[in-house]
Structure 1
């Protein structure tokens, strides 16, 4: 890669609660280097660890950050706490040695990748859930308020409802299905109530609880109707989040509303995708479904390239403000 450092290069950082991807591209969009690191969810790992991880990741893909044309850092929870946002927004300055960067929420990475930076809405359903969209220079988001009282339709949301269904099946409040034995086997339970100690006593992490959604998906695919209903409910919640963004962006009556998706929950296939599309189509005939163009890791770098094109104009505006 060193012989290409004299060309325009752009860094995208796609952060997440489980992993963070660093992607370096050139002006044609060709990937030059990539690195995968751990969580960048500062509420979980702390600001100090976030700083260390970002420094290490940048060094892995770009030994000389001064050569970067621009960098975009899409980080989870950014924009959701005015006490910490100013600090996080300035973290890359010392790492890069220049101001050719911007920090945003990781939802932007999913949108930029799925829609290729074009107007429309992207819904992310991974550990958490959130939708982000742009139309004619206006942007909007919905969802993503956190797992305690939001993140509807996410892997965490699906998993907690799967655990709830397990308790109902064990008690006899719901008919037993494949999920009952699946979770017994997963946790090697000697008694069903031991699940309390496994999940709460061991202080399972947000990510490890979210991962249980895969067991719920397997049970649904094996004919567990109650488990399948959890995914239909998740699809309905995700559709509501998208529709909230569409209303904020105020699409015209004669406009299509492009919608794409990203995140691990959508990899469960028709369990979510089919009812999600059906629910949105029933809400508004203008929705047009767009298969993801690229994943969020590339989306972060493509967004950096887009920001680079706007940077000189923004710089002139800031200079004018200071004059």
Structure 2
């Protein structure tokens, strides 16, 4: 059997085709299917279009399963019903699994093993799994949470600019980067620009790139953003450790923590302070697989158990 893995995140929706050995043979990327951004009709349209385009490649063949991983699934009753209806209709009788993107990220990041998946992309969330028990932390959405995510860092970039602009903090490379990126003629122009930017989580998250550029240029404010982001991410991990891994809390590096999401593309800027901030029982590990494969692994596991 071949497989179609769908990773519906807050920025994009990826459709990856896998052969019988789970080797990726093709990939299609469409805009986000997140219901809060695309709407319920838009969510269904993106999922349907991507699946149709994947089938049209000819790589899937007549027999395949579909793993749907949808950002925000399980958090809104109306959206959940729409996602379930869409997945059922799109699958057309084929085997499928529909899961939240954090569950898929755990499956891919830790290869279905016990541990903690830490996700920081457009939003942020962590999921711990141990002997079939799960504990979630974070994921309170863009408006009130998502600490340590790209969206959160984007807001922090704007705040850091204002502090450098009015002299509360020393001006560094971040100040000029923001002025150039947002084409500001006057520092106060950022007030109007922020209203537009903060209304779109994807645009806000894109500003996190400026934090990386500024930090690489030794901007103290930008480096502090990464340190605060790491502290927020470690806080989520710590909460899960206290609830799920308390008995090994004093055992060094006993709990693997897979890091997943675009925020970690900053490399050592975020990974070094994160490693330092994690509980001593935790160890950072690179994800075992790309997130697109996560829902497929869950589906395959369910099918194996049903045999």
Q: Normalising to structure 1: TM-score of the pair? A: 0.87
Shift of 1:23: 1.8
Contact conserved, 2:17 with 2:26, CA < 8 A, in 1? yes
Structure-to-structure mapping, 1:128-207, within 5 angstroms: 128-201=123-196, 205-207=200-202
Paired residue for 1:30?
23
Paired residue for 1:88?
83
Contact conserved, 1:10 with 1:305, CA < 8 A, in 2? no
265 and 193 in structure 1: CA distance in 2 versus 1, 3 angstrom threshold: same
Paired residue for 1:268?
266
263 and 169 in structure 1: CA distance in 2 versus 1, 3 angstrom threshold: same
Structure-to-structure mapping, 1:1-323, within 5 angstroms: 8-62=1-55, 67-98=62-93, 100-201=95-196, 205-250=200-245, 252-253=247-248, 256-280=254-278, 283=279, 285-310=280-305, 312=306
83 and 51 in structure 1: CA distance in 2 versus 1, 3 angstrom threshold: closer
Question: Per the alignment, in what secondary structure is the counterpart of residue 260 of structure 1?
Answer: strand
Which consecutive aligned stretches of 4+ in structure 1 deviate over 6 angstroms post-superposition? none
Q: Deviations over 1:5-63 (max 9, x none)?
A: xxx12222111121111122234212243221111111111111111111111122235
Larger radius of gyration: 1
Q: Flag structure 2 segments of 5+ consecutive residues without an equivalent.
A: none
Contact conserved, 2:97 with 2:295, CA < 8 A, in 1? no
Number of residue-to-residue matches in the alignment: 302
* CA distance in structure 2 between the aligned counterparts of 1:90 and 1:309, rounded to whole angstroms: 24
Q: Normalising to structure 2: TM-score of the pair? A: 0.91
Shift of 1:68: 4.4
Q: Deviations over 1:59-91 (max 9, x none)?
A: 222359894453221111111112332332232
Contact conserved, 1:11 with 1:68, CA < 8 A, in 2? no
Q: In terms of mean alpha carbon deviation, does 255-264 or 268-277 score higher?
A: 255-264
Contact conserved, 1:22 with 1:58, CA < 8 A, in 2? yes
90 and 251 in structure 1: CA distance in 2 versus 1, 3 angstrom threshold: farther
Question: Per the alignment, in what secondary structure is the counterpart of residue 29 of structure 1?
Answer: coil
123 and 297 in structure 1: CA distance in 2 versus 1, 3 angstrom threshold: same
* CA distance in structure 2 between the aligned counterparts of 1:118 and 1:23, rounded to whole angstroms: 22
